[in-house]
């Protein structure tokens, strides 16, 4: 069941869903609109062979940029972070979508789930499928998070719990 505006406001007022900072236009008809934070990550190298199964961390592969503008080269991607620190209830899951206005410019994001019980800034891969460089500004609403009621409860316990700012992906060395 998708949670609509009144249910989202209820979760926030009860303190079960936390969004900091909470802007007046964050809670929408059927989800939350979150803003671009003050940093992003982009690959530091081109033409490198990346073997996730041999890496503990991928941080060295990315350049973290603190800026008021995000520059996304054509047919490339960046990792964006939300300005908002979000704390999800243990019985609600978030389905991340790019706002359609940005999608109409050629930007896309892969299917992304924000797990029940997750807490932190949300890092999202934004891909520029267009032939043009796209420049976005800090504070622009870019991510539409649809919240769905889950059956039962779960507590996210992954390595991204409590993350602040943009977070490059973990290596998969321990999983392969």
Round to whole Å and give the CA distance between 68 and 153.
Answer: 38
How many residues appear in the chain?
A: 176
CA–CA gap between residue 129 and residue 106 (Å, rounded): 5
- The residue among 116, 119, 124 whose CA lies nearest residue 94 is 116
Whether the CB-CB separation of 41 and 63 falls below 8 Å is answered with: yes
Q: What is the DSSP letter of 2?
A: B
Please say whether the beta carbons of 36 and 136 come within 8 A: yes
Q: Name the catalytic one among 7, 39, 90, 125.
A: 125
Q: How high is the pLDDT of residue 18?
A: 98
- Token pair belonging to 150: 């889950």
Q: Return the pLDDT at 46.
A: 86
To the nearest whole percent, how much of the chain has pLDDT over 90? 93
C-alpha–C-alpha distance, residues 7 and 136, integer Å? 31
> What confidence score (pLDDT) does residue 161 get?
95
pTM: 0.94
Domains annotated for the chain, with CATH where assigned, are 5-46+58-149 (2.70.40.10)
The mean pLDDT value of the chain amounts to 96
Centre a 10 Å sphere on the Cβ of residue 51 and count the other Cβ atoms it contains: 11
Query: Average pLDDT of 83-99?
Result: 98
Half-sphere exposure for 59 (CA within 13 Å, toward CB): 4
| pLDDT per position as a tens digit, 21-67 | 999 999 999 999 999 999 999 999 888 899 999 999 899 999 999 99
Residue 155 scores a pLDDT above 90: no
**Rounded Cα distance, 114 and 59, in Å:** 21
Active site residue 125: yes
Q: Cβ(28)–Cβ(144) under 8 Å?
A: yes
């Amino acid at each position: 069941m998708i949670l609509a505006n009144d249910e989202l406001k209820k979760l926030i007022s009860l303190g079960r869903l936390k969004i900091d900072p909470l802007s007046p236009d964050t809670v929408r008809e059927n989800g939350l609109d979150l803003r671009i934070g003050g940093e992003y990550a982009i690959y530091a190298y081109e033409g490198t062979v990346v073997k996730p199964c041999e890496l503990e961390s991928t941080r060295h592969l990315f350049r973290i940029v603190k800026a008021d503008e995000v520059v996304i080269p054509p047919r490339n991607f960046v990792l964006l972070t939300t300005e908002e620190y979000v704390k999800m209830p243990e019985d609600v899951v978030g389905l991340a979508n790019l706002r359609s206005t940005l999608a109409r410019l050629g930007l896309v994001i892969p299917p992304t789930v924000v797990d029940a019980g997750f807490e932190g800034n949300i890092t999202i891969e934004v891909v520029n499928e267009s032939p043009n460089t796209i420049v976005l500004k800090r504070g622009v609403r870019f991510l539409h998070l649809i919240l769905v009621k889950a059956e039962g409860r779960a507590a996210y316990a992954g390595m991204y719990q409590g993350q602040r700012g943009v977070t490059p992906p973990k290596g998969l060395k321990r999983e392969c």
